[in-house]
Structure 1
Amino acid sequence: MLYILLVMAAGDETAMFGVSPVLGALIVVGGTLLWLLRRYLAGGWCYSKARLNGARVILACRDLAKAQAALAEIREDTGNRNLTVVKLDLASLASVRECAEKIKAEESRLDILINNAGIMMCPEWKTEDGFEMQFGVNHLGHFLLTNLLLDLIKSSTPARIINVSSLSHAYGKIDWHDIHMNKGYDRRKAYRQSKLANVLFTRELSRRLKINEFEVTVNAVHPGVVATELGRHMMESGSLAARAVNVLRFTPIMWMFKNAVQGAQTTIHCAVTPELLNTSGLYFSDCAPKEPSQHALDDDAARRLWDLSVEMVGLHEK
């Protein structure tokens, strides 16, 4: 039986579990141009043949009420009763440490860790520990949680770690001189930086695991543009005029976005597909490895980010 920890945002959809293979073809309406636009916006459609039914699933979430609702939905959809929730606020290093300790105390193994939570283009907020919110939640929180659970994961080999990134990483750069944007906040740059950090973290963690010959793989995933609550701050932030522009910009193309089931497929594929047992350090989109940006392939930057992250979260490496 697989033991899976899914780190989810408060508003995440829950269609990841018990997804059956979907047969048939995509019917294109509106011609090739619309199809190409849809593929660019959402990423293509793919359907994993993997099933997660029967696994023990731990939902780690900041909002326990929403996590319980997700748990109830998964139980109803799959019949799987082996589910539990645990409190996790990625904007608090103390909460991350408490969550990790609880899992290590209560679970005997951890086969799959899915770092799926995130925040996107929020106002200029800081985490409990003073980090820029998007970098703190999207990267540092997952970085610390993963490292705190790594011994448990290593004892459960073969095991897998999946970091949910974004196509936006391709437009990102790490601002080494002002990583928390204290000199001037740009919510888009902050989001892109955090998503690039996800891919660099994946690359460096994979390198370290390979050197030590652990049977643990780690891959990054672009799920596509998915219609969830992740983009809510794009509609809520800024002036009334800016919010109106965003509504007018995105509402007509919402039909092109992936739904939750479609958006979960690449993550499921990387989590349990047997053919990927020894595949590590890659970036996936539409259930296939894709070339990330040149910045994401910079091994020196990956090591530098690792060392900086260790210092920021107060992690004492062995």
Structure 2
Amino acid sequence: MFRLSEMPDQKGKIAIVTGANIGLGYETAKALAMKGAKVIMACRNRDKADSAMKAILNEWPDADLEFISLDLSSKKSIKSFADSYKAKYSNLDLLINNAGIMIPPYRETEDGFESQWGVNYLGHFYLTGMLMETIENSDHGRVVTLSSLAHINGKINFDNPNMKDSYKPMVSYRQSKLACLIFAFELQRRLEAKDSKVISVGVHPGVALTNLFAAGPKWMRLIAPLFKGMFNTVEGGAKPSIMGAIDPTMKGGEYLGPTGKRGMKGEPGIVESNEISKDKAVGDKLWTLSENLLDYKFDV
């Protein structure tokens, strides 16, 4: 059983958690702060981040927290965030690629990408690349990327990832979360190829009643309470992320999630992913596509 109290102290380490002001990100940031890490709250909204930091400090007065603005729907904002971080810090121990949106109506990011594809996946791909040098400067840096059970039925539409003329919110969400997991595995392969000490792991929270449900369509908000007993808590959903970040037994390329029935809830542990996510050819193809779409060379 995973117990935070039994995990190593993280004092002296720096962690970035995207979407740290609410839901899974908030619980992850709080846990890392409780273990002594300095936590960078990478969020869009300053007021919401301040409220989250105040709540954490009320519960854990010794928490070391800092806000840096980050909007994953904007390449400009991601670059500004990375530049701000690197101007102040030379290393990064933990990058938690947590933030995400789920099944919104069709809209595009500032750079013209379908919002789920752009925010959930491409934004984190670009952010990780921009920060990789600082992660490499840590003794044992880690990149933790959130996927979802939804990846199981996902497919990557390589010819038309934005799917503007055939947009289906859940299809796009599945694609974005499959891409996140493919990225986690492909990043690990590339790190191993250069004998890097950095490791990359993928995680999923099960089915947790997070803010994504509250912000979802009306039908989702209506049915969620009916199945509450089947779902994971937000605290439980964050455990795979926390475990992936600080468990000393963790190895690169592993995939963590709840180990209960159908992976919906339960104690965190190593779980299986679909075959596409592990396909090396697909991983390489997605990496190339991502670089081309972003006009950015992610050299690991």
TM range, smaller chain? 0.7 to 0.9
| Mapped contact 1:132–1:180 kept (Cα < 8 A) | yes
Q: Determine if contact 2:29/2:41 at 8 Å carries over to the other structure.
A: no
8 Å Cα contact 2:92/2:135 also seen in 1: yes
Which region of structure 1 is more displaced relative to structure 2, 203-212 or 289-298?
Answer: 289-298
Segment drifting more, 5-14 vs 72-81: 5-14
> Offset of 1:248 from its aligned partner?
4.0
Partner of 1:151: 133
The residue number in structure 1 matching 2:17 is 6
Give the secondary-structure state (helix, strand or coil) at the position aligned to 1:16: helix
Q: Structure 2: any 5+ residue segments left out of the alignment?
A: 1-11, 259-267
User: What amino acid sits opposite 1:95 in the alignment?
Assistant: S
Q: CA deviation at 1:256?
A: 3.2
- State the AA in 1 paired with 2:94: I
Which residue among 163, 174, 183 is the counterpart of 2:145?
163
Partner of 2:264: none
2:43/2:69 contact within 8 Å kept? yes
1:313 to 276, 288, 294: 294
- Aligned residue for 2:73, secondary structure, equals coil
What is the distance in 1 between the residues matched to 2:36 and 2:194?
31
Secondary structure of the corresponding residue to residue 137 of structure 1:
helix
Q: Is the partner of 1:250 in helix, strand or coil?
A: helix
The answer for the alignment partner of 1:196 in structure 2 is 178
Q: Which residue of 2 aligns with 1:59?
A: 41
Deviation at 1:273, TM superposition (A): 0.8
Aligned to 1:274: 248
Choose the corresponding residue for 1:126, options 102, 108, 111.
108
User: What amino acid maps onto 1:94 in structure 2?
Assistant: K
Residue in structure 2 matched with residue 301 of structure 1 by the alignment: 282
Letter matched to residue 307 of structure 1: T
Larger radius of gyration: 1
1:252 to partner: Cα distance: 1.1
Could you tell me which residue of structure 2 aligns to residue 285 of structure 1? Answer: 257
Contact conserved, 1:221 with 1:284, CA < 8 A, in 2?
yes
CA contact (8 A) 2:151 2:178 kept: yes
- Give 1:224 shift: 1.5
Q: Does the alignment pair 1:206 with 2:180?
A: no
Query: Of the candidates 109, 121, 130, which is equivalent to residue 91 of structure 2?
Result: 109
Match of 1:30 in 2: none
**Residues 112/317 of structure 1: CA separation in 2 closer, same or farther (3 Å cut):** closer
Aligned equivalents of 1:184, 1:203: Cα separation in 2: 29
Q: CA RMSD in A?
A: 1.7
Deviation at 1:53, TM superposition (A): 2.3
* Offset at residue 79 of structure 1 (A): 2.1
Alpha-carbon deviation of 1:223?
Answer: 1.0
Identity over aligned pairs, percent: 36
Q: Which moved more, 1:297-306 or 1:69-78?
A: 69-78
Q: Which runs of 5+ in 1 are unaligned?
A: 20-49, 236-242
Where do residues 80-119 of structure 1 align in structure 2 (5 Å cutoff)?
A: 80-119=62-101
Equivalent-residue separation in structure 1 for 2:20 and 2:27 (angstroms): 14
- Asked if the contact 1:9–1:118 (Cα under 8 Å) also holds between the matched residues in 2, the reply is no
Q: 2:209 aligns with which of 202, 218, 227?
A: 227
Q: Secondary structure at the match of 1:275?
A: coil
The answer as to whether partners of 1:17 and 1:53 remain within 8 angstroms in 2 is: no
**Whole-Å separation in 1 of the counterparts to 2:151 and 2:20:** 19
Check whether the contact 1:4–1:110 (CA below 8 A) recurs between aligned residues: yes
**1:189 Cα offset (Å):** 0.3
Partner Cα distance (1:315, 1:299) in 2: 21
Q: Alpha-carbon deviations, 1:275-308, whole Å to 9, x = none?
A: 11xx111211122211101111111111111011
Give the aligned length: 278
Please report how far the alpha carbon of residue 186 of structure 1 lies from its aligned counterpart in structure 2 after TM superposition: 0.3
Query: What is the letter of the counterpart of residue 285 of structure 2?
Result: R
- 1:16 aligned onto 2:28: yes
What is aligned with 1:240? none
AA aligned opposite 2:294: V
> In the alignment, residue 133 of structure 2 is paired with which amino acid?
D
Residue 84 of structure 1 deviates from its aligned partner by 0.3
Distance 1:124 1:11 in 2: 23
Hey, what's the Cα distance between the residues in 1 that align with 2:14 and 2:275?
34
Once the two structures are TM-superposed, the CA of residue 257 in structure 1 deviates from its matched residue by 2.3
3-state SS of 1:274 partner: coil
Q: Which residue in the other structure is 1:138 paired with?
A: 120
Partner amino acid, structure 2, of 1:296: S
Q: Determine the C-alpha separation between the residues in 2 that align with 1:264 and 1:114.
A: 11
